Amino acid sequence: MRSPDSARAAMLVEALPYIRRFRDAVVVVKYGGNALAGSEATPLASFAQDVVLLHSVGVKPVVVHGGGPQIGDLLRRLGKEPEFRDGLRVTDADTLEVARMVLVGKVNRDIVSAINVHGPLAVGLSGEDAKLISAAAHSGGLGFVGTVIGVDPTILLRLLAEGLIPVVATIGSDSSGQAYNINADTVAGALAEALGAEKLVFLTDVEGLRADPADPASLVRQVTADQLFSMVESGAAAGGMVPKAQACVRAVQAGVRRAHVLDGRVPHALLLELFTDGGVGTMVVP
């Protein structure tokens, strides 16, 4: 029987080839609002440790975050009941202001602060900064819900070159300066494509993609982009998993080497997926 010390040493040895492989690689990590919602302090602190460790071993993390549950909570406190169509939040002018307040002023600052506990590393920004995300109105009469029409990664590349960790809130703008709230899964995929990322990782509140959405035992450990597209078409990937699946498919088909869907509530899930042989979620390959 191996001692606990031997087991820990074996884990470090197991991680070594992955650390070498991913040194200087860009990894885009989408940290979902659902992963944040359950217990604010512990999951966020664990996530921040993972991001800093990635940075410390030479990986270049870019964090993209959502905040849907937090936006909904504030809307209800203000006496406004959230409305959804096809899984997207109907966003009038007042709702847009709430979304900007929550995403840019609250969730973004919380993540930046949690990372910067470990050193002056994280820089918060939104898609409006330096014209990072160009947006247009989504179809379907959803108001100020946006779709990504272009990404200019210049500001992200500058920050990464300075050894900093960008933390991106998913508000974009059009050529007139009008702001739009954009699905964070879609933004994460678009940024991964624009940056030529090695990996795109989604941290959410389920353990990964399931062949049967209602059966936790049907977790799919690895799937190709074509197989995942078929899962979306058949309804096996449904609800909030659809934009994640679509972003994974598009990203790996555009050159991102791997995409992953993980349970962000599991301590250090990001490290377990990237630096161990077994992983803990679903991996999407070309």
CATH of the domain at 168: 3.40.1160.10
Report the number of distinct structural domains present in the chain.
1
245 located within any domain: no
Whether 187 is in a domain gets the answer: yes
pLDDT of 43: 82
Residue span of the structural domain in which 118 resides: 18-206
pLDDT of residue 264: 82
In this prediction, the residues of the chain whose per-residue pLDDT falls under 70 are 1-5, 33-42, 86-87
Report how far residue 77's alpha carbon sits from residue 284's, in angstroms, rounded to the nearest whole number. 39
Is residue 255 situated within a structural domain?
A: no
- Give CA–CA dist 275/25, Å, rounded: 14
Non-local CB neighbours of 58 within 8 Å, separated by 6+ positions: 19, 22, 23, 24
Q: What is the pLDDT of residue 217?
A: 84
Q: What is the DSSP letter of 28?
A: E
| Residue 111 covered by a domain | yes
Helices in 4-40 by DSSP H: which ranges?
A: 4-22, 33-37
The strand ranges marked E within the chain are: 26-31, 60-65, 84-85, 88-89, 122-126, 133-137, 145-151, 165-169, 171-173, 179-182, 199-204, 222-224, 258-263, 282-285
> What are the tens digits of pLDDT across the range 82-140?
888 766 788 999 999 999 999 999 999 999 999 999 999 999 999 999 999 999 999 87
Asked if residue 53 belongs to a domain, the reply is yes
282 occurs within a structural domain: no
> If phi over 0 gives left and psi between -120 and 50 gives alpha, with beta otherwise, what is residue 141?
left
β-pair type (282-285, 222-224)? parallel
Residue 8 lies in a domain: no
pLDDT of residue 198: 97
66 DSSP 8-state letter: -
Residue 221, CA atoms < 13 Å, CB-side half-sphere: 5
Q: Is 168 exposed, middle or buried (0-12, 13-18, 19+ CB in 10 A)?
A: buried
Q: Classify residue 235: in a domain, yes or no.
A: no
pTM value surpassing 0.85:
yes
